[in-house]
């Protein structure tokens, strides 16, 4: 039997997965480790030979902050929905988000999909910076 033909949908999902991996600066081996799968299984995902599982989508969200919508359809939340969510947050959360975006655009732009541990490190630095800047006490509602 010959190789089965890969649908356009699978090809696009595979391209998105590869883009996520490359933007995070990870090898296929390291990305497979992050996903908790073998390298050969990951290569089949990236080639489009296999589809990502529900547990794989969950792992991408938990470890890389990548939504299932993006993986499946190539879309993220609409900018207006995001803006509405921002408007409905506290002033402290807005300031945290602004600082986080500033760090993104000045330091980590290449890390479009940073690993969860890396994002937590950045967030701790941001929270510490904000506390120092505004004289916050230890019991603020900033992420730890």
pTM above 0.95, yes or no: no
Query: Is pLDDT larger for residue 3 or for residue 25?
Result: 25
Looking at the fold, whether 62 and 93 belong to one and the same domain comes out as: no
Residue 126 lies in a domain: yes
H helix runs in 107-138, sequence order? 116-134
H helix runs in 48-115, sequence order? 54-64, 68-73, 79-87, 91-106
Interval 84-123: pLDDT, tens: 888 899 988 898 888 888 877 776 655 555 666 777 787 8
Number of structural domains in the chain: 2
Looking at the fold, whether 94 and 40 belong to one and the same domain comes out as: no
Range of the domain at 117: 79-134
Residue 63 pLDDT > 90:
no
Residue 2 lies in a domain: no
Shortest CA distance to 36 belongs to which of 18, 20, 58? 58
Shortest CA distance to 45 belongs to which of 8, 16, 68? 16
């Amino acid at each position: 039997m010959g190789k089965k033909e890969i649908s356009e949908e699978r090809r696009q999902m595979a391209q998105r997965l590869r883009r996520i991996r490359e933007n995070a600066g990870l090898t296929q081996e390291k990305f497979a480790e992050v996903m908790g799968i073998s390298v050969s299984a990951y290569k089949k995902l990236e080639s489009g030979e296999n589809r990502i599982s529900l547990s794989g989508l969950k792992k991408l969200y938990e470890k890389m902050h990548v939504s299932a919508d993006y993986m499946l359809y190539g879309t993220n939340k609409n900018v207006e929905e995001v803006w509405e969510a921002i408007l409905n947050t506290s002033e402290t959360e807005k300031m945290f988000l602004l600082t986080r975006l500033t760090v993104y655009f000045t330091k980590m732009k290449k890390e479009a999909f940073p690993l969860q541990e890396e994002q937590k490190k950045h967030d701790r630095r941001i929270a510490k910076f904000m506390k120092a800047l505004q004289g916050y006490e230890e019991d603020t509602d900033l992420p730890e």
